[in-house]
Amino acid sequence: MRRPARIIVAVVLVIFAAASIAGGVFVWGLSVFAAHGPLAGPATVVIAKGSGLAGIALQLEASGIISSGRVFVWAARLTGGARALRAGEYAFPARASMEAVLETLVAGRTVLRRLTVPEGLTARQIVALVEGAGGLEGSVAPLPKEGSLLPETYHYAYGDPRGTLVERMRRDMGRAVAKLWADRAEGLPFDKPEEAVILASVVEKETALPAERSRIAAVFINRLKKGMRLQSDPTVVYALTGGRGALGRKLTRADLDVDHPYNTYRNLGLPPGPICNPGRASLGAVLHPAKTEELYFVADGSGGHVFAKTLAEHNRNVAEWRRVRPGGTSK
C-alpha cells in the first residue's frame, strides 16, 4: 500500500474510533442524565440570584442532588436550558433524576411558602407575623392602617419582599370590601365602606363563632339606629392597649370609664377607626346582618352568647353570667 493511502486509512480509523468513543460517552451521559439520582430523601436547595450554570451544577452535586455536575452542564447546554435556569428555593424528591432536576429549574417551579393571617389581629400583630416569616426579605414600613389588611392564607416564594406581601394584603382587603359593599343590604346606619370595616372589626373581636356574627352585627346595628352606645368591651381593650395586643387581664369597671375616643361605653356611635383587621365573614355579617330586634347580648359561659330584646330580659341573663363568672361585663 502506498504511503498516502496508508495515511488516509489511519485517519479514517482514528475518526471511527473517536466517533465510537464519543458515542459511548454520549450514551453513558444520557443514561446518567435519565437515571435515578443519589438523593436518599427529599431535599431543598436555594439557588442564589446571579448563579451561573457551572456554579449551580457544583451546588447541586455538593448537596447530593445530582451525581455529576459535568453531565448536568453538558445536558443543560445541549437542551438549551443553560440560559433558562432560574434562582429561587427548590424542593426535590428522593432519587430525583438529573433530567427532572433540570426541568424543575428551567420551569422555575420554586417552593411556595405560606403564611396564614388569622382574623382579628391588629396591624402591629400582622406585621410581626410577616417580620417573623422565614424566607422573606426587607422590612415593613410604615405601619399599615388598622383594618386595611385582609386576613387570609398567603403564598410566597423565598426572597420575596415583606413589603410586597403586605401590599397584597392591603390590595385584597380593598377588593373584598368593594365587592361586599356593592351587594350590601338596604337600611344600614352608615353610608361609607370604611364605617362597615370599623363595625366589622368590632364584631370580629366580639365572637369567634361563625353562627353568631350576623346576629351580633344586628345588635350593634339596631343600637346605632336607636342612638344607643355600642358598649363593646373590645373597643375598651383597644383604647387601653393602642392596638399592641391583648390586655393580659380582665376588664374592670374602672376601665369602662376610661376617657378615650375608642371607649364605646362613653361615646356614641362607631369608634374613630377599626380595632383590628376583620375577615370576610365579619364584613359580610355587618353588610348582611340578621333580621332581629335584639339589642343586648352577654356571654353564656361556654364560648357563645345569650341575646335579648329587652333590658329586663338582658338583666336576667347578666345575673346568670355573673353567677358563672363574677365581675363580667355585658352589652
- Show contacts of 109-112: CB within 8 Å, 24+ apart: 110/86, 110/157, 110/158, 111/44, 111/157, 111/158, 112/155, 112/156, 112/157
Q: What is the mean pLDDT of residues 89-114?
A: 94
CB 256 within 8 A of CB 237: no
DSSP 211: G
Judge contact between 169 and 154, C-beta under 8 A: yes
Locate cell 353570667: which residue?
321
At 19, the pLDDT band (50, 70, 90 cuts) reads very low
CA-derived radius of gyration, the chain: 33
**Cβ proximity of 32 and 98 under 8 Å:** yes
Quickly state the pLDDT bin for 7 (edges 50, 70, 90).
very low
Task: Report the predicted TM-score, pTM, of the whole model to 2 decimal places.
Answer: 0.82
Mean predicted confidence (pLDDT) in 91-108: 94
Kindly report which listed range (29-43, 160-174, 185-199, 316-330) carries the lowest average pLDDT score.
316-330
Using pLDDT thresholds of 50, 70 and 90, give the confidence band for residue 324: low
pLDDT range class, residue 174, cuts 50, 70, 90: very high
Provide the pLDDT confidence category of residue 320 given band limits of 50, 70 and 90. Answer: confident
103: number of Cβ within 10 Å? 14
pLDDT of residue 79 exceeding 70, the answer is yes
Mean pLDDT for the stretch of residues 191-206: 97
- pLDDT at 27 (0 to 100): 56
φ, ψ (nearest 5 deg) of residue 88:
140, -175
DSSP state of 161: B
Query: pLDDT value at position 200?
Result: 98
Burial letters 63-81, b for 16+ CB under 10 A, else e: eebbbbbebbbbbbeeeeb
Q: Is the pLDDT of residue 146 over 80?
A: yes
pLDDT at 325 over 70: no
d(CA 237, CA 241): 6
Please report which confidence band the pLDDT of residue 165 belongs to, taking 50, 70 and 90 as the band edges: very high
Write the single-letter amino acid at 64: G
Q: Has residue 83 got a pLDDT over 60?
A: yes
Confirm or reject CATH 2.60.40.3080 for domain 33-111, answering yes or no. no
Confidence at 331, pLDDT banded by 50, 70, 90 = low
Across all residues in the chain, what is the average pLDDT?
Answer: 88
With 90 as the cut, is the pLDDT of residue 9 above it?
A: no
Q: How far apart are the C-alpha atoms of 121 and 129, rounded to whole Å?
A: 10
Every domain of the chain and the residues it spans: 33-111, 113-172, 187-324
Read off the pLDDT of residues 266-289 as tens digits, 9 standing for 90 and up. 999 999 999 999 999 999 999 999
- When pLDDT is averaged across residues 294-320 and rounded to a whole number, the result is 90
Is the model's pLDDT at 3 over the cut of 70?
Answer: no
What is the Cα–Cα distance from 191 to 296, expressed in whole angstroms?
A: 24
Mean pLDDT in residue range 253-273:
96
SS3 per residue for 59-94: HHHHCCCCCCHHHHHHHHHHHCCCCCCCCEEEEECC
**Out of 146-150, 238-242, 246-250, 286-290, least confident range:** 246-250
- Portion of the chain with pLDDT greater than 70, in percent: 88
